[in-house]
């Protein structure tokens, strides 16, 4: 990604970073490395579910043929409990939706994983699993509360017995977006990152009448076309689908503002 000095594509540009706080450090570092100013404003909190919610399945984990982790948070929280219980059973295959989730599992020593080659969503993972036989197999899906049902429904149609473990629930923080108005008025807040549709929804709930016009006119950099559709539905004028993962999001910012500088230098 970007160079140094006067060539830094995000020099003088503030970017709203809306991920949960514990997931924002790497992204903030990348934005700073490009000369930008990360403005941390978490629009989602991750609240771990009680241990007893997962305990019944973890006791039977050796009975499953495949474990699917749908997000980095699911991987982190599930593996903390699995590690305490002795680790993943030998022979249990593992699948993940994307590189962030894979990176989280690698921290716990997991090396072999089935992962999509592109897109990094449920549809892409189902494609990656398309050559496996699921008739009579047992699958456990570690996810957040209220996640999509596509994976489970599709694998059940292929003959699998599927169980869910909901590792966490999502909550909306109680931040006051009015504190950002001076940054918008000074033209210092030039971009907003959103990695889920729920984050977009929370942002507009938190914005209120005073901040919604500012939010709508701020270019939004998102991880998936589904998130882009939500942003457009709320009236965001410009949306850039950068892709999954911190590096992809930072690269999207770099590309957008480098082009903008060539067309019209930023003050």
pTM: 0.82
As separate numbers, helices (DSSP H) first and strands (DSSP E) second, the chain gives: 10, 10
- Tokens 């017995």 belong to which residue? 161
Distance of CA 31 to the CA centre of its chain: 17
CATH of domain 48-170: 3.40.50.10090
- Confirm whether 5-44+173-263 and 48-170 share one CATH topology: yes
Q: Domain limits of the chain?
A: 5-44+173-263, 48-170
β-bridge mates for residue 15, sequence order: 38, 191
Which of 171 and 259 is assigned the larger pLDDT?
Answer: 171
Q: Tell me the CATH architecture of domain 5-44+173-263.
A: 3-Layer(aba) Sandwich (3.40)
What pLDDT band is residue 118 in, cutting at 50, 70 and 90? confident
DSSP 153-217: HHHHHTT-EEEEEEEEEEE-----GGGGHHHHHTT-EEEEEE-SHHHHHHHHHHHHHHHHHHHHH
Structural contact between residues 15 and 36, judged by C-beta atoms closer than 8 angstroms: yes
pLDDT at residue 179 tops 50: yes
pLDDT digits (tens, 9 = 90+) for 148-162: 899 999 999 999 999
pLDDT digits (tens, 9 = 90+) for 207-260: 999 999 999 999 999 999 999 999 999 999 999 999 888 999 999 999 999 888
pLDDT digits (tens, 9 = 90+) for 52-88: 878 889 999 999 999 999 999 999 999 999 999 889 9
């Amino acid at each position: 990604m970007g160079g140094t000095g006067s060539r830094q594509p995000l020099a003088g540009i503030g970017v709203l970073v809306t991920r949960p706080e514990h997931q924002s450090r790497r992204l903030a570092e990348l934005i700073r490395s490009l000369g930008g100013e990360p403005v941390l404003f978490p629009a989602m909190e991750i609240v771990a579910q009680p241990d007893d919610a997962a305990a019944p399945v973890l006791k039977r984990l050796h009975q499953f043929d495949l474990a699917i982790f749908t997000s980095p948070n699911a991987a982190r929280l599930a593996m903390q409990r699995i590690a305490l219980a002795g680790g993943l059973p030998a022979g249990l295959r593992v699948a993940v939706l994307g590189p962030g989730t894979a990176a989280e599992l690698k921290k716990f020593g997991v090396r072999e994983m089935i992962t999509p080659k592109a897109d990094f969503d449920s549809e892409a993972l189902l494609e990656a699993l398309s050559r496996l036989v699921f008739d009579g197999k047992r699958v456990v899906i570690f996810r957040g509360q209220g996640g999509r049902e596509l994976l489970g429904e599709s694998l059940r149609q292929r003959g699998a017995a599927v169980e869910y473990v909901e590792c966490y629930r999502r909550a909306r923080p109680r931040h006051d977006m009015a504190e950002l108005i001076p940054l918008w008025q000074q033209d210092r807040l030039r971009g907003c990152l959103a990695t889920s549709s729920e984050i977009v929804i929370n942002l507009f709930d938190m914005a209120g009448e005073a901040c919604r016009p500012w939010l709508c006119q701020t270019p939004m950099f998102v991880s998936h076309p589904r998130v882009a559709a939500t942003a457009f539905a709320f009236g965001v004028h410009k949306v850039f689908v950068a892709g999954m993962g911190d590096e992809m999001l930072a690269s999207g910012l770099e590309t957008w503002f480098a082009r903008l500088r060539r067309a019209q230098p930023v003050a």
